[in-house]
């Protein structure tokens, strides 16, 4: 089984998404699945990631090489983002398995859900923050001395968070766990 993750920002999100999805898929008993992050084209922003033409080009490029495509974007406090993702999924649902999800509010939220956070941070507040990257993730990376490492700390912290994929599912039920359930159904149906 081959799975392609399509992030809205390859340069940063790859370090979060790949380790988390590898662990998630392993939790389904699919230890031989290959997970790749889309590198060509390298999307730079949500507008490109939600462009039906871009998505179509990616799906065509990887036709026959991938079994499942996972598109992950930030919600960015946009209450209409889910509708756009649903439209993309329905456009390609007959030809490919395309699962699209928006992290609430940013992909970094999923990473933070799998980490032990400072004692004075309240998860409900972290989860509700629309600028979670700036208010929480970057602060944590700086506190841990990882700001200057690969992905601004995302590589190290993404790998650490991946060990707690069950906790991420529990803390992010409306986005990550929803996607995880749909992905599990697609993987088990293969």
pLDDT in tens, 139-174: 999 999 999 999 999 999 999 999 999 999 999 999
The model's pTM: 0.93
Q: Tell me if residue 110 falls in helix, strand or coil.
A: helix
pLDDT in tens, 100-143: 999 988 999 999 999 999 999 999 999 999 999 999 999 999 99
Alpha carbon distance 2, 156 (integer Å):
24
Distances (CA, A) of 47 to 58, 126, 153: 15, 25, 25
- Asked if 89 and 99 touch (Cβ cutoff 8 Å), the reply is yes
Number of domains in the chain: 1
Distances (CA, A) of 15 to 86, 91, 110, 119, 154: 25, 28, 12, 25, 5
- Asked if 46 and 73 touch (Cβ cutoff 8 Å), the reply is yes
* Angle subtended at Cα 94 by Cα 71 and Cα 40, rounded to the nearest 5 degrees: 35
Alpha carbon distance 1, 34 (integer Å):
6
Residue 102 domain boundaries: 2-188
Torsion of CA 166, 170, 174, 178, to 10 degrees: 30
């Amino acid at each position: 089984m081959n799975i392609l993750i399509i992030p809205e920002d390859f340069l940063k999100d790859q370090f979060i998404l790949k380790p988390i999805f590898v662990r998630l898929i392993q939790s389904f008993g699919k230890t031989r699945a290959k997970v790749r992050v889309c590198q060509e084209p390298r999307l730079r922003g949500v507008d490109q990631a939600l462009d039906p033409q871009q998505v179509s080009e990616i799906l065509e490029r990887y036709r026959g090489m991938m079994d499942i495509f996972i598109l992950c974007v930030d919600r960015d406090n946009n209450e209409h983002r889910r509708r756009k993702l649903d439209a993309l999924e329905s456009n390609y649902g007959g030809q490919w398995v395309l699962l699209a999800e928006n992290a609430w509010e940013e992909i970094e939220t999923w990473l933070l859900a799998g980490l032990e956070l400072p004692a004075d941070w309240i998860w409900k507040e972290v989860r509700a923050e629309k600028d979670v990257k700036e208010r929480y993730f970057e602060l944590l990376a700086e506190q841990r001395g990882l700001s200057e490492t690969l992905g601004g700390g995302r590589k190290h912290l993404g790998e650490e968070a991946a060990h707690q994929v069950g906790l991420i599912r529990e803390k992010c039920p409306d986005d990550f766990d929803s996607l995880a359930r749909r992905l599990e159904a697609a993987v088990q149906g293969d």
